């Protein structure tokens, strides 16, 4: 991922393979739909690690990049994946706007994680970072996502965590009922 920061020294993915299963890949070298394990995944992890695709070599989730997130925030443990979206995947009005962070909620993360997340969202939005909340769809389908900044700017500036929690909870409930669409690959290279 391109968060513009260094990888945390000494931190590795370990047994986590969450991105290899849950994310879509749409490159000229390889395609896979989200929510389905990559065909190269094996019990030991990536079965083609030394020759894995360019997209796999350059993707690192936020946990690999943010020192403040302890071991318990590894995505397969926390159920929360942080990463950044490329400009072209952002809604048009937010492109070229600077830093962004996507937060994808897998399953139902524990309440202590969510409480920390609300504080984190508040700090990010107040600091001018574009924050996108995402909920995955069924296997093979695009998930739902919403930019939080417009609705939560005032709450973030006031440190109103109750408002942030209420809004995110409402969005998650609505998103889980969304009419998810099957993935359509767009890379025509």
Q: By the criterion CB under 6 A, which residues form the site for ligand SF4?
A: 13, 16-20, 38, 40-41, 46, 48, 52-53, 56, 60-61, 63-64, 74-75, 81
- Going 88 to 6 to 63 to 130, the CA torsion angle's sign is negative
When the beta carbons of 81 and 131 are compared against ligand SF4, the nearer one is 81
Q: How far is the CB of 121 from ligand SF4 (least distance, A)?
A: 19
CA gap 24, 141 in Å, rounded: 9
By the 8 A CB rule, do 132 and 146 touch? yes
Q: How far is the CB of 60 from ligand SF4 (least distance, A)?
A: 5
Q: How far is the CB of 184 from ligand SF4 (least distance, A)?
A: 20
With 0-12 / 13-18 / 19 or more C-beta atoms within 10 angstroms meaning exposed / middle / buried, residue 46 is: middle
Q: How far is the CB of 4 from ligand SF4 (least distance, A)?
A: 17
- Going 18 to 24 to 30 to 31, the CA torsion angle's sign is positive
């Amino acid at each position: 991922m391109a968060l513009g920061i260094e990888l945390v020294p000494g931190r590795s993915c370990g047994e986590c393979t969450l991105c290899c299963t849950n994310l879509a890949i749409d490159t000229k070298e390889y395609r896979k739909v989200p929510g389905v394990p990559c065909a190269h995944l094996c019990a030991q992890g990536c079965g083609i690690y030394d020759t894995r695709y360019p997209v796999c070599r350059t993707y690192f989730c936020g946990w690999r990049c943010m020192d403040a997130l302890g071991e318990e925030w590894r995505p397969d443990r926390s159920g929360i994946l942080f990463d950044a979206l490329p400009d072209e995947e952002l809604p048009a009005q937010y492109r070229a706007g600077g830093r962004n962070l996507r937060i994808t909620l897998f399953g139902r993360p524990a309440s202590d994680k969510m409480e920390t997340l609300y504080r984190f969202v508040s700090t990010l939005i107040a600091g001018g970072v574009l924050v996108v909340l995402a909920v995955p769809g069924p296997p093979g389908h695009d998930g739902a996502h919403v930019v939080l900044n417009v609705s939560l700017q005032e709450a973030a500036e006031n440190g109103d965590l109750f408002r942030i929690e209420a809004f995110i909870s409402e969005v998650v409930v609505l998103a889980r009922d969304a009419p998810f669409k099957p993935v359509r690959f767009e890379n025509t290279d």
